[in-house]
Chain A
Amino acid sequence: MFNYTIRRLLLAVPTLLLISFLIFLLLDLAPSDPTANLPLTIPPEVREKIRISLGLGEAFHIRFLLWCKQFFYNETLNILEQWWGWDFGGDRLRVLSWQTRSPVVDTIVQRIPQTLWVVGMSYVVGILIAVPIGIVSAYKQYSWFDQVGTFVSMVGYSVPTFFTGVLVIVIFSVWLGWFPSIYDTTLVVNDWSSFVQQVKQMIMPVSVLALYNAAQISRFMRASMLDNLNQDYVRTARAKGIRERSVILVHVLRNSLIPVVTVIALGVPQVFGGAIITEQVFKVNGLGQLLIIAIQAGDVPTVQTLTFIFAFLIVFFNLIADVLYGILDPRIRYD
Chain B
Amino acid sequence: MPEKRPAVLDVKDIETVFNTRRGTIHAVNSVSFSLEPGELLGVVGESGSGKSVTMMSLIGLLPTPPARVTGGYVKFDNIDLLKADAQQLRAVRGAKIGFIFQDPMTSLNPVLTIGFQLMEPLRTHMGMKKAAAKKRAVELLDLVGMPDAERRLSDFPHQFSGGMRQRVVIAMALACDPKVLIADEPTTALDVTIQAQILELVKDLRRKLGMAIIWITHDLGVVAGIADRVMVMYGGQIVEQAPVRELFENPQHPYTRALIETVPDIGAERPERLRTVEGQPSILYARPSACSFRTRCAHAFERCGKENPPLLVTDKAHHVACFWDSATGEPRNV
A residues at B contact (CB < 8 Å) = 231-233, 235-244, 246, 250-251, 254-255, 258, 328-331, 334
Contacts of A240 in B (CB 8 A): 93-94, 120-121, 124, 172
Given contacts A242-B94, A243-B90, A331-B156, contact A236 B107 (CB under 8 A): yes
Contacts of A254 in B (CB 8 A): 109, 111-112
Contacts of A246 in B (CB 8 A): 120
Contact A330 B110 (CB under 8 A): yes
Contact A233 B108 (CB under 8 A): yes
Identify which of A233, A254, A255, A331 gathers the most chain B CB atoms within 10 Å of its CB: A233
Complex-state Cα separation, A329 to B109, whole angstroms: 11
A46 vs chain B, min Cβ distance (A): 67
User: Within residues 48 to 97 of chain B, which ones have a CB less than 8 A from any CB in chain A?
Assistant: 59, 61, 86, 89-95
Given contacts A242-B121, A243-B124, contact A232 B106 (CB under 8 A): yes
Contact B103 A232 (CB under 8 A): yes
Contact A239 B108 (CB under 8 A): no
B326 vs chain A, min Cβ distance (A): 38
Contact B156 A330 (CB under 8 A): yes
Contacts of A251 in B (CB 8 A): 109, 112
Interface size class of B (residues with CB under 8 A): 20 to 34
User: Within residues 95 to 149 of chain B, which ones have a CB less than 8 A from any CB in chain A?
Assistant: 95, 98-99, 101, 103, 106-112, 120-121, 124-125
| Among candidates A237, A238, A243, A255, residue contacting B111 with C-beta atoms closer than 8 Å | A255
Identify which of A246, A250, A258 gathers the most chain B CB atoms within 10 Å of its CB: A250
Complex-state Cα separation, A334 to B109, whole angstroms: 16
| Among candidates B101, B158, B169, residue contacting A330 with C-beta atoms closer than 8 Å | B158
Q: Is B47 an interface residue (CB 8 A)?
A: no
Complex-state Cα separation, A39 to B145, whole angstroms: 87
A-B contact pairs, 5 of them (CB 8 A): A239-B98, A241-B94, A241-B95, A255-B111, A330-B156
Contact A236 B156 (CB under 8 A): no
Contacts of B173 in A (CB 8 A): 239
Chain A interface mostly: helix
Contact B110 A233 (CB under 8 A): yes
A141 vs chain B, min Cβ distance (A): 10
B residues at A contact (CB < 8 Å) = 59, 61, 86, 89-95, 98-99, 101, 103, 106-112, 120-121, 124-125, 156, 158-159, 169, 172-173
- 6 smallest CB-CB distances across A and B, nearest first, come from A241-B94, A241-B93, A240-B94, A239-B99, A232-B106, A330-B156
Contacts of A231 in B (CB 8 A): 106
Determine the residue in chain A with the shortest Cβ distance to B182: A239
Contact B91 A241 (CB under 8 A): yes
Contacts of B98 in A (CB 8 A): 239
Complex-state Cα separation, A275 to B106, whole angstroms: 42
Determine the residue in chain B with the shortest Cβ distance to A255: B111
Contacts of B101 in A (CB 8 A): 232, 235-236, 239
| Among candidates A232, A241, A328, A334, residue contacting B107 with C-beta atoms closer than 8 Å | A232
Contact B159 A334 (CB under 8 A): yes
B177 vs chain A, min Cβ distance (A): 13
Complex-state Cα separation, A120 to B159, whole angstroms: 39
Contacts of B110 in A (CB 8 A): 233, 255, 329-331
Contact A235 B107 (CB under 8 A): yes
Complex-state Cα separation, A331 to B113, whole angstroms: 11
B105 vs chain A, min Cβ distance (A): 9
Contact A233 B106 (CB under 8 A): yes
Determine the residue in chain B with the shortest Cβ distance to A232: B106
Contact A241 B125 (CB under 8 A): yes
Identify which of A238, A243, A258 gathers the most chain B CB atoms within 10 Å of its CB: A238
Complex-state Cα separation, A269 to B67, whole angstroms: 45
Complex-state Cα separation, A122 to B61, whole angstroms: 41
| Among candidates B86, B95, B99, residue contacting A244 with C-beta atoms closer than 8 Å | B86
| Among candidates A235, A241, A331, residue contacting B90 with C-beta atoms closer than 8 Å | A241
| Among candidates B61, B125, B159, residue contacting A239 with C-beta atoms closer than 8 Å | B61
Contacts of A232 in B (CB 8 A): 101, 103, 106-107
B139 vs chain A, min Cβ distance (A): 18
Known: A236-B107, A239-B61. 16 other contacts (CB 8 A): A233-B110, A236-B99, A236-B109, A239-B98, A240-B120, A240-B124, A241-B121, A242-B90, A243-B90, A244-B86, A251-B109, A254-B112, A329-B110, A329-B111, A330-B156, A331-B158
